Structures are given as structure tokens and as C-alpha cells.
Amino acid sequence: DVKVTQSSRYLVKRTGEKVFLECVQDMDHENMFWYRQDPGLGLRLIYFSYDVKMKEKGDIPEGYSVSREKKERFSLILESASTNQTSMYLCASSLFESGANVLTFGAGSRLTVL
Amino acid sequence: DQQVKQNSPSLSVQEGRISILNCDYTNSMFDYFLWYKKYPAEGPTFLISISSIKDKNEDGRFTVFLNKSAKHLSLHIVPSQPGDSAVYFCAALGNNDMRFGAGTRLTVKP
């Protein structure tokens, strides 16, 4: 069964701390994505990557950075966490192909910043 | 700006009846539409999709209808089952840009 695994399901951090959210996929997918999910706002794209060492900003990249050193791993970094970054973070991956782009999501990482 | 809108935050139906979840979009560039289902503490999972060249796609109890002129799509679940209780996200894709709606929480009562 193919999987996207997010290493941390629940995290509690303090304002100003550096936060790493890790995501690993075992499907050999080229594309990987980081979304955040907030009530009433749906899923908003933070960053995505089409290949190793490549990254593209999504709709809300401010306050975040990403790293993709290996094809299967895509990390989201909060350099200095703030309370407005309290959210559910979802990692996803997909094959690089035109037309249909079905995302496979991880279970999510719920981050609380105090 | 929300290019994909799900105007009903929640919907409650009786087991065995039809559930209809609605989604509207504003961008004419979208040419592929998807529905995802999300249970608590799990990531969204793909449910069904439709290309803009079609107006209907059916998969078992799930049917998606697309009205391009109205920029509207809907997901029909017949018959609804308690296990269908989840949050449903509509997504629209065009030019490699995927946008999600805010989600509709469906509750199916036994």
C-alpha cells in the first residue's frame, strides 16, 4: 500500500522556536506539496517541489521554507514559529503527468504554537 | 481570493437518502475537478474526479456532475451511509494550479 508518511502527528512549540515537519513518500513520485488546512479556508498551498532540490512558492509561503534533498523526502521548516502558524499541515505527493493530478496525502501534522 | 467555493459548511442527511454536496468555481481555466474525502485525524483521500469534457462521472454510489456554463459541480452520494460521514473537499485543476474549497462536513445519521 503506497504511503505518504508525516513523522510528527502532533507538535506543541513555543513562539520563536524553529520547527521541522518531515514528509516521506514511497511511491517514487516527482511532485511533493505542503498544504495547511484551516477551518473555513480549506487547503492552502505553502510550497511544492517538482524535483529534487527544486522548490516553488505556493499561495502562502511567508514564514516557511522547504528542503528537498532526496526524491522521497520533503521537509517544511518554520524558521521562527508564530501563533498564527498553529494549523494542520498536510503533505502530499503525485506523479508528474499532464491532465489528472491526483494527490496522495499524509495523515497530517497538527502544530500548536504557544 | 477563493476560486473554489463550497458554500455549505455542513450537511446532515438520513441514512439511505441522497447527499448532495455543491461546489462553485470562478476560473474558466480549470479543466479537471476532483473530490476528496477526509476523516478526522487522517489525510484527505481521493474519491472521484471529472474532466471538463464530460458532464457526469459515476463510481458506485458516488456521482459527480459538472455544469460548465454555470461553473458548478456537485457530488451525489446514493444511498448515504453512516461511514460516509466526513469532510468533503472539492478541488479544481487548471494549468497545473490546483485549488481547494473550504470543505463541507457531511453527517449521515443512522
Q: Which residues of chain B have pLDDT under 50?
A: none
Which contiguous run of DSSP H or E holds residue A77?
Answer: strand A73-78
Question: Nearest residue of A to residue B7 by CA position?
Answer: A40
Asked if A103 lies within 8 A of B46 by C-beta distance, the reply is yes
- Identify which of B32, B41, B89 has the shortest CB distance to residue A99: B32
The per-residue pLDDT for A15 is 97
What pLDDT score does A1 carry?
A: 65
Residue A97 predicted with pLDDT over 80: no
Residues from chain A contacting residue B6 (CB–CB below 8 Å): 42
Q: Which of A24, A30, A35, A37 to mutate to test the interface with B (most CBs of B within 10 A)?
A: A37
Q: Which of A67, A66, A71 is nearest to A95 (CA)?
A: A71
- Per-residue pLDDT at A96: 61
pLDDT tens digits along A3-52: 899 988 999 999 999 999 999 999 888 899 999 999 888 899 999 998 89
Q: Which pLDDT belongs to residue A2?
A: 61
Total Cβ atoms within 10 A of residue A89:
24
The pLDDT of residue B1 is 66
Q: Which residues of A touch B3 (CB under 8 A)?
A: none
User: Is 70 exceeded by the pLDDT of residue A98?
Assistant: no
Q: Which of B5, B10, B38, B88 to mutate to test the interface with A (most CBs of A within 10 A)?
A: B38
Residues of A in contact with B36 (CB under 8 A): 103, 105
Return the beta strands (E) in B39-103 as ranges: 45-51, 56-59, 62-67, 72-77, 86-94, 97-100
Please give the grid coordinates belonging to residue A36. 495547511
What pLDDT is stored for residue B37 in this prediction? Answer: 97
Contacts of residue A9 in chain B, CB cutoff 8 Å? 41
Average pLDDT over residues A77-85: 96
Cell of A57: 512558492
Q: What number is the average pLDDT over the span A70-92?
A: 96
Number of A–B residue contacts, CB under 8 Å: 51
